[in-house]
Each structure stands twice: as structure tokens, then as C-alpha cells.
Amino acid sequence: MSEVDRLLTSARTGLRRLTPQQAHAATKGGALLVDTRTAAQRARQGEVPGALVVDRTVLEWRLDPTSPHRIPEAVPGVRVIVLCRQGYSSSLAAASLRSLGVDATDVVGGVEAWIAAGLPVSQGPADVRE
């Protein structure tokens, strides 16, 4: 096993990862869906309606409720569901958020599984948070 695979396995320990259908349902119940895909990936695959787009490089600052750089939706107790292209970097991101005390998880299979499940995507516009 490679070191990055070990890191991923460790990151997923304690995560209750969601299927795309579970994630979609959770957003209807108030969970915050956060898309970390690049602009190029989103242009190819489409936007996920209702998702907030947060660049991976600033994710922790935007979603930590104690950060002065947080987005307004980053309030204590909000459930955050991270979405990436295939469900790998989102696991690492969710683990990082959990280390900050955020109730975070991710989507098994990422946007590719979301699309395969027939869940909605659109051509935009995206709700990009910088």
C-alpha cells in the first residue's frame, strides 16, 4: 500500500461517508454541500445545484466556525458534506474539517457517482465562495 493510500485510509476512519442519494437528501435537511472541484472539472461535468463552491486551498478557513474568514453558512453544528470529482480528495478534506471540530463527511464516488445516480447537475451558475 502506498503512503497516500495509508493517508486516505486513515482519513476515512471515523467518517460515515454518504452515497450521492444520502447526500442529496441531507442537503434538503439543512446540510451544507461543498464542492471542491476545479473550475475546469465543473465546466466538464456541470454544477451541482445548491452546492457552495469552495476552493480546496481555503476550505478550512471558510468552514471553521471560529475563523474570521469563514463563510456565513459556517455556523457551529452545521453538517458539511464535501464533494469532489471521484471521492478521494473529499475524504481528506472532510477529515481535515473534522480535526477542526466541524461535523463533516464526504460523498462516496464524488460527482461522478452523483451523475451516475441521476442526481441533478446544471450548467451554472455556481455559488463560488472565495
H-helix or E-strand spanning residue 93: helix 89-99
Q: Please count the CA atoms within 13 angstroms of the CA of 106 that sit on its side-chain side.
A: 31
CA 12 remoteness from chain centre: 14
Q: In this predicted structure, what is the pLDDT of residue 124?
A: 83
pTM: 0.96
Please name every residue paired with 96 in a beta bridge, in sequence order, or none if there are none: none
- Stretches where the chain sits below pLDDT 70 are none
| Rounded (5°) CA angle 25-26-30 | 120
pLDDT for 37-61, tens place per residue?
999 999 999 999 999 999 999 999 9
Number of CB atoms found within 10 A of residue 31's CB = 20
Q: In this predicted structure, what is the pLDDT of residue 94?
A: 98
Concatenated DSSP letters for 54-89?
A: E-GGGHHHHH-TT-TT--TT--TT-EEEEE-SSSSH
CATH numbers and ranges of domains, the chain:
3-129 (3.40.250.10)
